[in-house]
Chains A and B, each alone.
Chain A
């Protein structure tokens, strides 16, 4: 399947190289995520008793908003010299471009999350490294990005793209947000109802369904 794997990897590496060159992108996402968290802290001013109720929400809202920022960037990069057309000229099927973009943005977002989680752990005093949390983060980020890549390819061609993108992505990814927040809460603060299993199943199902559907529809978005 070299017609798939190799071009996808080439695309991902190219995107990572572009992000590394353009350091402001990753750092602005990071800072933004951090900023949202700080603001929420002042907005809610959680007492130690309340903290468990609010912290998972703060984490995932900050990741979500930073994520939308990241999606915007991913395709604005391609708009500059029409390089999305350049990608369309390559002898690969359209879903190769989709998966290349997807993996690239997932890597960037996971990088941000891995850096921010310890910061949150310090600020809100929960254990620093919990493997289950990482699994949830990966699944949630994939689900979120599956939708995000598809619609940022659309949004980049519309007027007022920064406004339109969250308006479309956020309602669609509500299952991801709910599952991520609830699972995070159960993992960090105790899973009395044994619900974590159900949440990561929901995330996995969402990921599979939306990945398949989005990769199929991506071609229709690209071709005029």
Chain B
């Protein structure tokens, strides 16, 4: 299968001041694949997500999304990228409905209301849509943020520790979203600490250490306990 990878990263390097965070990182991901990336705190998981999402600019290296250079075609490619992080990107003083309509319009969606309706149903948010986001519980805000991230049906999904702040029900709803019938049309990168959660969703697993992907494997050929040992090994070598 020689189709073009959805995400290609070559020699991605990023420092913050003197501190190098990512060093010559390479990554390839095809449509239909879910790549779960584990790593210690400070290993650069968030930096990778932010770089892929155009929130941060790399010092060196090339990122291609669907074959196109992210640095040059950023505005165009963002139409196909969805990002979920610890922060919700929602406005406290606006209602859930208003927030989602805003992003829907910024993304130029034609059927905004329809998309909002169906997604918020899937995530169990119908009852809170008319409340100001600032008044909602953290879990509900996170669910809303998930809807925001997938509202424009992105081809590329970047999730930075999505399991944090979500209750069991929301986690399984997210899981359904990710493994639903559209799975083949998406490429997903998830960063996480949570072995059980990440393992369940993955097609490939990887470990981010020393600024690049130090270990990578198909999930199919891996036993979770064996992987746990490998992962712990990397964790103990991580600089404090």
Which of chain A's residues 74-89 have a Cβ closer than 8 Å to chain B?
Answer: 77, 80-83, 85-89
* Cβ distance B18 to chain A, nearest Cβ, rounded Å: 15
Among A3-11, A43-51, A173-181, the stretch in contact with B: A3-11
With the chains together, A3 CA to B90 CA distance in Å?
22
Contacts of A90 in B (CB 8 A): 78, 103, 106-107
With the chains together, A21 CA to B76 CA distance in Å?
33
- Some 23 contacts from A to B, beta carbons below 8 A apart, are A2-B108, A6-B108, A10-B102, A14-B102, A17-B98, A18-B93, A80-B92, A81-B89, A81-B91, A81-B92, A82-B88, A83-B91, A85-B85, A85-B87, A85-B89, A86-B89, A86-B148, A88-B54, A89-B83, A89-B89, A91-B75, A91-B78, A91-B79
Name the one of B83, B88, B107 contacting A91, with C-beta atoms under 8 angstroms: B107
Given contacts A10-B105, A10-B106, A17-B98, contact A224 B57 (CB under 8 A): yes
Name the one of A14, A81, A86, A89 contacting B81, with C-beta atoms under 8 angstroms: A89
Name the one of A18, A83, A91, A224 contacting B55, with C-beta atoms under 8 angstroms: A224
Interface string of B103-127 (1 = CB under 8 A from A): 1011110000000000000000000
Which of A3, A83, A87, A223: most chain B Cβ within 10 A? A83
B211 within 8 A of partner (CB): no
With the chains together, A173 CA to B108 CA distance in Å?
36
B11 within 8 A of partner (CB): no
A160 within 8 A of partner (CB): no
With the chains together, A17 CA to B92 CA distance in Å?
12
Please count how many residues in chain A sit with their CB below 8 Å of the partner chain's CB atoms.
Answer: 27
A27 within 8 A of partner (CB): no
Chain A residue at smallest Cβ distance from B87: A82
B50 within 8 A of partner (CB): yes
Contacts of B74 in A (CB 8 A): 93
B56 within 8 A of partner (CB): yes
Which residue numbers of B lie inside 8 Å of A, CB to CB?
A: 16, 50, 53-57, 74-79, 81, 83, 85, 87-94, 98, 102-103, 105-108, 148
Name the one of B55, B94, B106 contacting A7, with C-beta atoms under 8 angstroms: B106
Contacts of A93 in B (CB 8 A): 74-75
Is B105 in contact with A224, judged by CB distance below 8 angstroms? no
With the chains together, A179 CA to B126 CA distance in Å?
54
* Cβ distance A205 to chain B, nearest Cβ, rounded Å: 30
Is A6 in contact with B89, judged by CB distance below 8 angstroms? no
Is A223 in contact with B57, judged by CB distance below 8 angstroms? yes
A92 within 8 A of partner (CB): yes
Interface string of A10-31 (1 = CB under 8 A from B): 1100100110011000000000
Chain A residue at smallest Cβ distance from B50: A224
Is B55 in contact with A81, judged by CB distance below 8 angstroms? no
Contacts of A81 in B (CB 8 A): 87-92
Chain A residue at smallest Cβ distance from B14: A224
With the chains together, A87 CA to B54 CA distance in Å?
11
- A-B pairs with the 4 shortest C-beta distances? A86-B89, A82-B87, A91-B79, A224-B56
Is A223 in contact with B94, judged by CB distance below 8 angstroms? no
With the chains together, A223 CA to B213 CA distance in Å?
24
With the chains together, A80 CA to B92 CA distance in Å?
8
With the chains together, A11 CA to B91 CA distance in Å?
13
Contacts of B148 in A (CB 8 A): 86
Is B106 in contact with A85, judged by CB distance below 8 angstroms? no
Contacts of A6 in B (CB 8 A): 105, 108
With the chains together, A182 CA to B147 CA distance in Å?
53
* Cβ distance B150 to chain A, nearest Cβ, rounded Å: 12
Contacts of B85 in A (CB 8 A): 82, 85
Chain B residue at smallest Cβ distance from A90: B106
